[in-house]
Structure 1
Amino acid sequence: MSTTGSRSAAPARPPMGPRRGPAMGASLPAEKALDFLPSAKKLLGRLRPHRLGLIATLVLTAISVGFSVLGPKFLGQATNLIFEGVISKGLPAGLTQEQVIAGLRAQGENSEADLLSGMHLTPGVGMDVHALGTILLGVLTLYVLSSIFSWLQAYVLNEVVQRTMYRLRQDVEEKINRLPLGYYDKMQRGELLSRVTNDIDNISQSLQQTFSQMVTSILTVVGVLVMMFVVSPLLAVIALITIPITVLITTLVAKRSQKLFVGQWKHTGELNAGIEENYTGHSLVKVFGRQREVRAVFDAKNEELFKASFGAQFVSGIIQPAMMFVGNLTYVAIAVAGGTLVANGSMRLGDVQAFLQYSRQFTQPLAQLGSMANLIQSGVASAERVFELLEAEEQVPDAAPAQSPTASKGLLVFDDVSFSYSPDTPLIEHVSLTAEPGHTIAIVGPTGAGKTTLVNLMMRFYELDSGRITLDGVDIAAMARDDLRGRMGMVLQDTWLFGGTIRDNIAYGRPGATAQEIIDAATATYVDRFVRSLPEGYDTVLTDSAENVSAGEKQLITIARAFLAQPSVLILDEATSSVDTRTEVLVQQAMAALRANRTSFVIAHRLSTIRDADLILVMQAGRIVEQGSHTELLEARGAYFELYNAQFAMPAAEDV
């Protein structure tokens, strides 16, 4: 077994990301302005696999809109039948329409004559009730069919959107598993959770609410515009004035609200990050009496979110009232112009009525398109945040084809390994180490010396800058990560248990383990001793934070989980720090029996726990400064000797 030290004096911690203290919700750097078009294109690209559904949606929407826009035309005909029937009934029977008009002009009643000239009259004959009933029945049929196709369109679109969101969530979940550990070092957990929950939900709602309405509105505008030109080209030109005004208003408002929506979701993520870490550390907040500071930080973040949300909604909300105002002006203009055309006989009253309906149908979707700007911008702002996550740099992919050791002995070799978290800050340089199977290697040193970094390199949480690490003769960079980590068991100082039974948490180390194997692992690590005293035994359900077991018991469960996995390399990072002295002795005895043919790396601050290690590595500032057994290092009277005396001399001095 041999080692050579490194020459770095750099700190052994990764570059600090946002603080994760329980009493603090650190702000992220200000995000860049929303890059709307690229993000919108990427979002629409997500719908491409469902193009058939989108085509079906467009066809169904077109049919629904087609039936809908024909309605006012037929209603106009019904109005003509009623109005002209009433006028015809009051005219002298036996005369023709032309004779009645000629008589009025002869009497100097030119206005009345012009009015009647634009109608289809049969003097002395009243309203054709049968024709009116046929028209109304036809209109009812049109609207029923329009509603049916609209419902079908909504059903198909809902399937498309939800399938798209289902796939997006899958991609995000898979992406999270491919991201390097360094990404999480720089990202607040609450911020990440906000992106994968709030932002995706917002995208889903935005697509659901805007896509159908947008398609319907656009097709309605086109269909209504065609019908308006059919009814009256002159009035259609008047209505067209609405379009450039709508575009101008929407563009001006959208430019101002884009950044506000980005800020809204940025502050939402920051607020969630603060809430998550404050909730997680609520006990610590109370212990140090920092409730007032936490509340102040929350109030400040909440105020920022309020201002951003209010500004975004207020500015974008201006669009719809503005569109309604423009629509009302257009409606008045059409009514005045249409009344004039009816008065001079150029149009029939029913056609004017139909055109007024069309003008409403024309301006309403334009106003809806304008009002949807806030939903669209909000959805695209969330999409940009999600795509930023999806486009983050991934960890180096596994080699193809991956190699795998033929035997699981646990022979681990560091060969001239160098690594740094930042290129301009050297950390570990030219470290060589051979760990023989069945041996225990202890790594000691002050906080920040690089002990955990060395372990992270073995697990491939980070990639080496140079050199290589081999496991049973195979370069770990050539192995699949799942294969590598499946051969290693790791117990951290910070325990993590999942919601579920104690049995489930132990079995997490090896799915498919039998009940007896679980009990054997628990017995070997002295979990069985306290589990038997619980009312539900191994079926005791742990709460979210496992508060129904002690800190030491949680640590023992995590050790049992690692032991059940039967790894060839066992890594214990301060694994007994939360265990009482008596339990620690028992765990050490159990570990001694379980280390047969298993390489063990033990990171420890309490030097009493690693006296029996085959090799002790002493690290300082990223360098291995000493190596040897406990006795050899004490006799050398170097760095280990100083650490040992620092731990044991002070209690002795206090006893004097």
Structure 2
Amino acid sequence: MSKITGDVINVHLLKRVLQYVKPYRAIFIYAIVLTILLAVIAPVRPFVIKYTLDQYILTGQYQGLLNMTILMIVLLIVQSVIQYSHTLLTNTLGQSAIKDLRIAVFNHIMSLRLKYFDKTPIGQLITRTVSDLETIADIFSEGLIVLIGDILMVIVIIGVMVYRDWALTLMVLLPLPLLMIATAKFQKAIKSAFQEIRIEVSNLNTFLQEHITGISIIQYFAREDQEYRKFHKINSRYRDANIRSNWYYSIFFPVVEIISAMSMGLLVWYGAKSILAKPLDVTPGTITEFLLYISMLFRPIRELADKFNTLQMGMVGAERVFKVLDTQETTTNTGVLAPEYLNGKISFQKVWFAYIDQQYVLKDLSFEVESGQTVALVGATGAGKSSTINILNRFYEIQKGTILVDGVPIQAYELNFLRKNIATVLQDVFLFSDTIFNNITLNNPLITMEEVVDAAKKVGAHDFIERLPGGYQYNVMERGATLSAGQAQLISFIRALVYNPAILVLDEATSSVDTETELLIQKAIDNLMSGRTAIVIAHRLSTIQKADLIIVLDKGEIMEKGTHQELLKMDGYYKRLYELQFNSGGIAAV
């Protein structure tokens, strides 16, 4: 990944950012043209004031003064219109390019494997997608184009000053080396401060995301005070970083004003001396003109360091954003098969899988599930049950072996087709802050209300949904906070049913509901699994006794497999689990 080092802007990184400007090149060109116009128009007003002072005010010509006043008003209006258009165009350009880049980042994040999210804090990704992208927008609205305009204005003003009077110009520019030294030191210091601010913003977002999401755990264990102290430290570091950057500004701007005053003082001293010695060479109008030039000259010079740092911070943000875009941890979608339907036959052939290299959680896994059959996975926590489902969906890639669906390796299927045909109902149901209808259809326009209602009736959820305010248009709020665990689980069943999958996965789907609700959805599960291949993970062995095949896993290996009765006759691992659970009143976890 490219880096920003020292005071040099990485040209390759800047070119990459500018790729997102291509669709808006017309706006970019107009902005550049207006930038040039502003630089050219800037020196005109001081010259008009000089001419007015020398030719009309000092000579008492009222009509000429009136005419020049009207001319200056027109110049101000023209300059204001150009400045307004310039600001509007640069901001439009920045936000348009960032809109496209943010979409690209979001789509890329959606394509990343779950493995990437296992090791990347969500708050960090939020920072990349929101805050860091805004700093890239500043490249256009406050950085690159404005920086070009300031440099161009400085060149034009110095050129005009030299043309008008080189001796006065030399006097004005004498303190300039001091300004250049101060600017260089400020630029280096403020860059470091800005980088620290970006780091602390990322830390702050990560902390907030994790702790707001896990607020129930914090409150369950009365950790509010401890977490408050942690947040106070992070927030204090963020405050200190901002104060440091403001301190640098509070030093730099007064220094610039002092140097600017030195230029004015030298100008007035030298100009007054010249007027007294040779009145015809330097006039009061010339002194006034150069005083205005000094103000116009030092303003962009003063802001150059700030704009350069805005550009650099945009580059820092771009580097972080492109690091996400360059992440190759995506599931390779090389498959093209998308038949009209799947029968749902599943075959695992000597499958080995590890989340971390060589630390296998599934070892030499082999089994077959015929179309329409139900297979149950049983085992202690960490046995590899959920991992089996994850690799079937290609959320993670296996290291060795083959997984077949209808006799075809899963890599041969188009990825979206494969996942649409494997509906998964998880123990921890995730609902978006949206209506029940949209949570069921996931905004799929092909699924009608009639289909949703029909599925809800089959699952046994229609009545409770109708009792809610708004029925299917009821907003469940974030993570389904306004629903019970059982109600959320029923909605996840409806969601699975309306997508009409060939393969159904129930990952401990009834473990978080009460006995009454479990009885309610048990019949729905039978309807849901009818005609479909099903993989069931259950803590409660009572829910899997009807399975066509039960596979007992331990530390990623198959210990036993068979029907419920066959496994009991083996008098082995499964029977011990069964007896342990039912002898303890059916509450033991498996």
Alignment correspondent of 1:470? 404
Match of 2:365 among 431, 448, 451: 431
CA distance in structure 1 between the partners assigned to 2:423 and 2:496 by the alignment:
5
Give SS of 1:455's match.
Answer: helix
Which residues of structure 1 form unaligned runs of 5+?
A: 1-30, 86-126
* Contact residue 331 and residue 395 of structure 2 kept, 8 A: no
Task: After TM superposition, give the deviation of residue 272 of structure 1 in Å.
Answer: 1.9
Match of 1:395 among 330, 345, 349: 330
Task: After TM superposition, give the deviation of residue 288 of structure 1 in Å.
Answer: 1.3
Alignment correspondent of 1:590? 524
* Contact residue 312 and residue 374 of structure 1 kept, 8 A: no
Is residue 488 from structure 1 mapped to residue 422 from structure 2 by the alignment?
A: yes
Q: Residue 75 of structure 1 aligns to which amino acid in structure 2?
A: I
CA distance in structure 2 between the partners assigned to 1:233 and 1:468 by the alignment:
81
Alignment correspondent of 2:543? 609
- C-alpha change, 1:424 and 1:324, in structure 2 (3 Å) is farther
Q: CA offsets per residue over residues 189-245 of structure 1, 9 Å max, x none?
A: 222222212222343346423345423322221121111011111222233345543
- C-alpha change, 1:245 and 1:520, in structure 2 (3 Å) is same
Is residue 365 from structure 1 mapped to residue 264 from structure 2 by the alignment?
A: no
- C-alpha change, 1:514 and 1:455, in structure 2 (3 Å) is same
CA distance in structure 2 between the partners assigned to 1:592 and 1:172 by the alignment:
41
Matches within 5 A, 1:341-360: 341-345=274-278, 346-360=281-295
Task: After TM superposition, give the deviation of residue 536 of structure 1 in Å.
Answer: 3.7
CA distance in structure 1 between the partners assigned to 2:568 and 2:168 by the alignment:
101
Matches within 5 A, 1:504-543: 504-508=438-442, 511-543=445-477
CA distance in structure 1 between the partners assigned to 2:87 and 2:443 by the alignment:
46
- C-alpha change, 1:308 and 1:424, in structure 2 (3 Å) is farther
Match of 2:319 among 370, 376, 384: 384
Is residue 637 from structure 1 mapped to residue 571 from structure 2 by the alignment?
A: yes
Task: After TM superposition, give the deviation of residue 175 of structure 1 in Å.
Answer: 1.2
Task: After TM superposition, give the deviation of residue 441 of structure 1 in Å.
Answer: 0.8
Is residue 309 from structure 1 mapped to residue 242 from structure 2 by the alignment?
A: yes
* Contact residue 200 and residue 386 of structure 1 kept, 8 A: yes
Match of 1:81 among 32, 55, 61: 55
CA distance in structure 2 between the partners assigned to 1:341 and 1:426 by the alignment:
88
Is residue 332 from structure 1 mapped to residue 304 from structure 2 by the alignment?
A: no
Alignment correspondent of 1:17? none
Alignment correspondent of 1:37? 9
Match of 2:121 among 179, 188, 199: 188
CA distance in structure 1 between the partners assigned to 2:6 and 2:114 by the alignment:
27
Give SS of 1:651's match.
Answer: coil
Match of 1:71 among 37, 41, 45: 45
Q: CA offsets per residue over residues 419-477 of structure 1, 9 Å max, x none?
A: 21122423323322221111111111111111111101010111222322222232211
Match of 1:499 among 430, 433, 445: 433
Q: CA offsets per residue over residues 4-49 of structure 1, 9 Å max, x none?
A: xxxxxxxxxxxxxxxxxxxxxxxxxxx9989972355543444344
* Contact residue 526 and residue 587 of structure 1 kept, 8 A: yes
Alignment correspondent of 2:90? 157
Which residues of structure 2 form unaligned runs of 5+?
A: none
TM-score normalised per structure 1: 0.83
Match of 1:556 among 479, 490, 500: 490
TM-score normalised per structure 2: 0.92
Match of 1:141 among 66, 74, 90: 74
CA distance in structure 2 between the partners assigned to 1:488 and 1:440 by the alignment:
14
* Contact residue 449 and residue 619 of structure 1 kept, 8 A: yes
Q: Residue 570 of structure 2 aligns to which amino acid in structure 1?
A: A
Task: After TM superposition, give the deviation of residue 81 of structure 1 in Å.
Answer: 2.0
CA distance in structure 2 between the partners assigned to 1:536 and 1:76 by the alignment:
73
Q: Residue 223 of structure 2 aligns to which amino acid in structure 1?
A: R
Match of 1:226 among 154, 159, 162: 159
CA distance in structure 2 between the partners assigned to 1:235 and 1:154 by the alignment:
33
Alignment correspondent of 2:171? 238
Q: Residue 477 of structure 1 aligns to which amino acid in structure 2?
A: Q
Task: After TM superposition, give the deviation of residue 305 of structure 1 in Å.
Answer: 1.2
CA distance in structure 1 between the partners assigned to 2:587 and 2:25 by the alignment:
78
* Contact residue 361 and residue 383 of structure 2 kept, 8 A: no
Q: CA offsets per residue over residues 232-282 of structure 1, 9 Å max, x none?
A: 112222333455433332322332333332221222122222222222232
- C-alpha change, 1:83 and 1:556, in structure 2 (3 Å) is closer
Q: CA offsets per residue over residues 62-114 of structure 1, 9 Å max, x none?
A: 223322211111211111124652xxxxxxxxxxxxxxxxxxxxxxxxxxxxx
Is residue 404 from structure 1 mapped to residue 338 from structure 2 by the alignment?
A: yes
Alignment correspondent of 2:184? 251
Give SS of 1:572's match.
Answer: strand
Task: After TM superposition, give the deviation of residue 161 of structure 1 in Å.
Answer: 1.5
Match of 2:216 among 254, 270, 283: 283
* Contact residue 67 and residue 143 of structure 1 kept, 8 A: no
- C-alpha change, 1:509 and 1:653, in structure 2 (3 Å) is closer
Q: Residue 87 of structure 2 aligns to which amino acid in structure 1?
A: A
Match of 1:375 among 291, 299, 310: 310
**Bigger relative contact order (CA 8 A; separation at least 6):** 1
Task: After TM superposition, give the deviation of residue 322 of structure 1 in Å.
Answer: 2.3
- C-alpha change, 1:624 and 1:288, in structure 2 (3 Å) is same
Q: CA offsets per residue over residues 300-332 of structure 1, 9 Å max, x none?
A: 111121122222332355332222222221221
Match of 1:449 among 358, 383, 392: 383
Is residue 300 from structure 1 mapped to residue 233 from structure 2 by the alignment?
A: yes
CA distance in structure 1 between the partners assigned to 2:562 and 2:190 by the alignment:
66
Give SS of 2:203's match.
Answer: helix
The range that moved more, 550-559 or 471-480, is 471-480
